[in-house]
Amino acid sequence: MVQVRTGSSAQCLLALLVAAMAMSGCNQRDPFLDQDAVTTAPSAVVPATPAGLSRIAFAPPGNRGGTSGQGTVYLDTPSRGAQVVTLTSSDAGVVSVSPQIVIPEGASSADFAFTTRQVQRDVNVTITASNGDRSISDYVSVWTPTTSFLAYSADPGVANLAFRLSSDAGGVFDAICNNGVVVAHANRGALFVSQMWFAGPVGQPMSARAFENVTGGASAGNFMVNDAASNCQIVGRFDIHEIGVLPNGSVNKLWVSFEHGCRNKPGMVRGTMSVSGPGAAGTAQCVRVR
């Protein structure tokens, strides 16, 4: 009698089944365990954070209607690629700007021009810069010919970054001719704010024209004092657009724009000042005697 060993028969059948499956091309690899079947996803590339818009400034930040100026858009860090910035005006009928500017790769700012139109009343127009991720805004003041004002903007470290004061906002302005030097004051009510001096060469009357190669402090040539820019050895220029002097030395009409740097530190100041008194412009001369 032959005894059949069940365990051995089962093992033989299992071996035959495995062999048959191998011959039929059946893949017995478990894709969850077989390293050859595992696909590894590539690492995600995180883009660098783009430089953000930090500030928009105007030079000057206010002026009579009908004039032009320069604006600057600043980034918080140098651009990692060319950035397109869209510019919009809240009242394009009064202040117009270019619709777009490009900040080049590696740059931290870009300039643009703006143009104003004459107005019948004082107005503030908001200019907005946007690069898609962020928007920033500031305003340009546009004044009538009868408004007295002082407005300037400065690079960091030279003076306060921007200043605007007008007679319709509580400013009090006056100017005099003192030995051929035009001295103009700006007060906020009874509080003194700023004083500026403008002078041409000795023996020449102050008139509506450009004064180049201006230095700070008294000299035989053109000079200017701007006490808003402290400890600044001024070098620059100013343009008198209008001046009227009364026989008593009072200046009842003055409109002057200026820009200057500092010999002893970097940066520029750009601005304008107007003193508009009652009546027609005086016709007396303001001639520097020393």
149: tokens are 């004002």
Cα 42 to the chain's mean position, in Å? 42
What does the mean pLDDT of the chain come to? 85
User: Domain ranges in the chain?
Assistant: 50-144, 145-290
The pLDDT confidence band at residue 283, using thresholds 50, 70 and 90, is very high
**Alpha carbons 143 and 126: distance in angstroms, whole number:** 14
pTM: 0.79
Encode pLDDT of 8-48 as tens digits. Answer: 444 444 444 444 444 444 444 343 333 333 333 444 443 44
Give the β-pairing of 95-97 and 109-116. Answer: antiparallel
Note whether 125 and 142 are within 8 A (CB).
yes
The pLDDT confidence band at residue 155, using thresholds 50, 70 and 90, is confident
CATH level 3 topology of 50-144? Immunoglobulin-like (2.60.40)
